[in-house]
Structure 1
Amino acid sequence: MCETCGCGEGATTTVTDLGVPRAHEDTREHEHDHARQHHHDHDTHDSGAQTVTLEERVLAKNDLLADRNRERLAALGAVAVNVMGSPGAGKTALLERTVRELGPRTPLAVVEGDQETLLDAKRIAAAGGRVVQVNTGAGCHLDAAMLAEALDRLAPSRGALVLVENVGNLVCPALFDLGARTAAVLSSVTEGADKPLKYPHMFRAADAVVLTKIDILPYVDFDADQFIANARKVHPGIEVLRLSSVTGEGLDQWFAWLDRARLAAA
């Protein structure tokens, strides 16, 4: 958590709606910065216990906001999906393809999370999607307050599917509830079959594992069966989807999984 990874040191959050030609700088500091400053301002002999208490307090506040996000979306019959994975796993490419192919028949909105730039949001907008970019600065994940502000900008319609691309990271995004109904972790065939064993919490926190870039599987040293076995070793029975955002292979399974999540919410 923040005291361990240093997330958000001296950072503010910027939320940009591409439909509005100005960035909004969040006046609140990152929750982790507040907790860290509070920690430094109170000298105690048991700093370890103090740190744990503050982390629990930060997570408790985040969880309260996450519950509000869930209630807000549930009132609309809408659902948010937390899309997680390391940088280069293919998150944005998959969302582009999803917007193009699923968008015409399903109300969609996208939240793009990154430390800096509007690059990913511009890609989603070019694909025809309604999108808000959240830049976390030095922060390594989105949190529930960031999603709440993004939802204010997006104003999702009734029955909408809100796809949230979290900051590329296989650790911190799994720790912070956003208010999403379900979560998917993406892992590409270039990353190694051992990733579920190295980052078990991420794979335990997900409801589905999406193995991406299978179109290049013949050209890389990757054991897909071993990867799936490792994923199910840390999360027994988890659904595993294989797909390529380039060729379209396996996308029907991804769309079906999203449809089930949306219909369950409705």
Structure 2
Amino acid sequence: MCETCGCSDDAVVHHEGHSHTVVLEQDVLAKNDHLAGHTRQRLRDQDVFAINLMSSPGAGKTTLLEHTVRALGDELPFAVVEGDQETQLDASRIKATGAPVVQINTGAGCHLDATMLDNALDTLAVVPGSVLFVENVGNLVCPALFDLGEAARVVILSVTEGPGKPLKYPHMFASTDLVLLNKIDLLPYVDFDVAEFNHDLGHVNPRARVLELSATRGDGLDSWYSWLRARLPLRPALS
């Protein structure tokens, strides 16, 4: 198993030279993007708005989803795909909210890909008109490279992770539509300069919006819910 992209062992055999590696990566990504295009159309046909939710481990993805489903679940159907290397822990937490959920365990793989999501959709009963959250494997590198067929990308960053992440992981932050700066209730206790972070993000991705929140305490969640509502203009029930 390739530790960088999670590709299979038979693909790693071709990693003997730089040119072979580049060709292989292009081939893998091209196949993935082709399937992602079909998945995107499949979701559009069902009026499903899919969000690829990415972050480092422990940034608060699952906690955010729990609050979101419980707050808006009476107004809007949700479905969740959980990606982790092992365990059903996060899927169990989401199941407790009442939302349909399927767990994908990637083993040594460090990201979800379009094939995994396509297979999950065959199992998951997604109601037309739903918001589909895809909680990707905790990783700020590989998930950025793989289109899943999503309509939007959201990156969660905890203030406990420290500043400089947009510059260290530019592919992740350049591809996102929204950054949720989480655990702001801990700002008095950590070395995190919000202005510096916003400056660095603007250098990498000037179009990305930033929302500050605390998923556990509830700060800023209304802004997050408003962002969701704005992505779904044909659903007046969310007003």
Which one of the candidate residues 98, 112, 117 is aligned to 1:142?
Answer: 112
From 35, 42, 50, the counterpart of 2:11: 35
Q: 1:69 aligns with which of 26, 32, 39?
A: 39
Deviation at 1:155, TM superposition (A): 2.7
Unaligned ranges ≥5, structure 1: 9-30, 41-45
1:219 Cα shift? 1.9
Equivalent runs, 1:168-207 vs 2, <5 Å: 168-207=138-177
1:103 aligns with 2:73: yes
The count of aligned residue pairs is: 236
Retained in 1: the 8 A contact 2:4–2:110?
no
The CA distance in 1 between the partners of 2:53 and 2:192, in whole Å, is 23
Structure 1 stretches (4+) deviating beyond 2 angstroms? Answer: 5-8, 31-37, 259-266
Q: CA deviation at 1:34?
A: 4.3
* SS in structure 1 of the partner of residue 155 of structure 2: strand
Q: Of residues 219, 223, 226 in structure 1, which corresponds to 2:193?
A: 223
Partner of 2:136: 166
Asked whether the 8 Å contact 2:4–2:142 carries over to 1, the reply is: no
State the match for 2:122 in structure 1: 152
* Deviation by residue 1:157-212 (Cα, 9 ceiling, x = unmatched): 11110001100000000000000011011101101111111111100010111100
Letter in 2 for 1:214: I
RMSD: 1.9
Query: Which amino acid is 1:149 matched to?
Result: N
- Show structure 2 runs of 5+ residues with no match: none
TM normalised by structure 1 equals 0.84
1:259 Cα deviation after fit: 2.2
Task: Give the match's secondary structure for 2:66.
Answer: helix
CA 1:265 to 1:59, structure 2 compared with 1: closer, same or farther past 3 Å?
farther
Q: 2:144 is aligned with what amino acid?
A: A
Would the aligned equivalents of 2:178 and 2:209 in 1 still touch at CA under 8 Å? yes
Q: Sequence identity of aligned pairs in percent?
A: 57
Matched, 1:126 2:96: yes
1-structure distance, mates of 2:226, 2:143: 24
Aligned partners of 1:35 and 1:55 also within 8 Å:
no
**Secondary structure of 2:179's partner?**
strand
Q: When the two structures are superposed, what TM-score results if normalisation uses the length of structure 2?
A: 0.93
- Over 3 Å counting, the alpha-carbon distance change for 1:265 and 1:207 in structure 2 is farther
Q: What secondary structure does 1:169 align onto? A: coil
Counterpart of 1:12 in structure 2 is none
